[in-house]
Amino acid sequence: MDKLIIRGGNRLSGTIPISGAKNAALTLIPCAILTEEPLTLRNLPRLADIDGFQHLMNQFGITTAIQGTRPEDFGRVMTLEGTRITSSVAPYDLVRKMRASILVLGPMLARMGEATVSMPGGCAIGNRPIDLHLKALEAFGAQIELTQGYVKAIAPDGGLPGGDFDFPVVSVGATENALMAAVLANGTSRLFNAAREPEIVDLCNLLVAMGAEIEGIGSSDLTIHGVKRLNGATYKVMPDRIEAGSYACAAAITGGDVRLEGANAHDMSSTLAALRAIGLEVEEDAKGVRVAANAPLKPTDLTTAPFPGLATDMQAQLMSLLSKANGTSVLKETIFENRFMHVPELTRMGADIATEGRTAIVKGPVDLTGAEVMATDLRASMSLIIAALAAEGETQVRRIYHLDRGYERLEEKLQLVGADIERVGDD
């Protein structure tokens, strides 16, 4: 198992290319289930989760062909073709490592009239629940059964009739699943209080390119007129707003000046607003975003919220950055109840952070020092990298397989702008 070694203190300067968005790609790939024609996705990031989803598509009988396999390339092009679906079962062995696998439920039900999908990650309904996914599908006419760790969904003879569903709380994944189920329904479906994240818009845009009829794209109320069939398409995955925000924090904590090539400022507006509040200079143009730290960092209070609010996936990275701000900051996490697992590791590096329920109080500035730390999840892992870039001495980050799920060739991109970082085998 690999680890990262970071020697802090280098000021980051230069250009980082932003990859295609992981969270969007994992939603676009299952759209291949909805058509017999080829679906070509461009700008797919090279990530473990993408490889895992490719294997899941193959399990269904969908063929996949990949271009852009040269080691020096960022991103790839994948063509998926589901002329004939040979299985409607997503087995535990393929689903357990990747929660996004639940997103095959809606499209498989829509096309095949049935789907059997393992509970993602062996999860039980309750914590990060999938109950909203199931209730939305039931509202469209599906029969749902939970048995032996699997969700089995069956459509009436002739397909889903469609229906209306009002989300009691905003859910990105459930909105995505419902959209993919509704596009082939026999009637019109309406979603109220739907998620509005840019990744949802990306999904809608692809579905429209495939022939779907969707009204209200970008809003919280969506109307989907079911069509008989969808065609193939060629589509470019949106840039990763979380990756761009993460590298912006890395630049800021080192007093750096970095251009995020390809970043979409509109999609990451809440992150850029937070960075400006912390004292960074942010410049936006049609080709990317430039972030520069030319003044002392200022404390600020931040609260995560569904889009257009501050993404929960940016909370850990901003926490690391605020450990170097001149004063006390307060971060409130409203999306997930267990999103502070990085705090003990950051305190090992010298951060002054106290948590009270879903609130973290960060006092700064502190002198961060290198240490051996353990990555606990994807975004927590990135927060440790950011802290290490500003720490005195050497930091070793273990269990970096989390990072490989969400950041394409992270160490190479950071090396491009002057970071002293390397991947080595973990003894």
Distances (CA, A) of 224 to 25, 296, 354, 401: 21, 49, 46, 38
Tell whether residue 130 is among the known ligand binding residues: yes
Tell whether residue 129 is among the known ligand binding residues: yes
Tell whether residue 313 is among the known ligand binding residues: yes
Tell whether residue 423 is among the known ligand binding residues: no
Tell whether residue 23 is among the known ligand binding residues: yes
Q: Do β-strands 89-90 and 114-118 pair in parallel, antiparallel, or remain unpaired? A: parallel
Tell whether residue 301 is among the known ligand binding residues: no
User: Do residues 397 and 410 make contact, with C-beta atoms less than 8 angstroms apart?
Assistant: no
Which tokens in the block code for residue 333? 């996490």
Tell whether residue 62 is among the known ligand binding residues: no
Which tokens in the block code for residue 273? 């607003």
Tell whether residue 131 is among the known ligand binding residues: yes
**Nearest to residue 241, comparing CAs of 220, 217, 271?**
271
User: Do residues 92 and 71 make contact, with C-beta atoms less than 8 angstroms apart?
Assistant: no
Which residue is listed with tokens 């257009």? 308
Phi/psi of residue 360, each to 5°?
Answer: -120, 135
Q: What angle do CA 362, 367, 370 make, to 5 degrees?
A: 105
User: Do residues 75 and 20 make contact, with C-beta atoms less than 8 angstroms apart?
Assistant: yes
* CB neighbours of residue 325 within 10 Å: 22
Tell whether residue 128 is among the known ligand binding residues: yes
Catalytic residues: 123
* Binding-site residues from annotation for UDP-N-acetyl-alpha-D-glucosamine: 99, 128-132, 313, 335
* Binding residue numbers for phosphoenolpyruvate: 22-23
**Binding-site entries:** 22-23, 99, 128-132, 313, 335
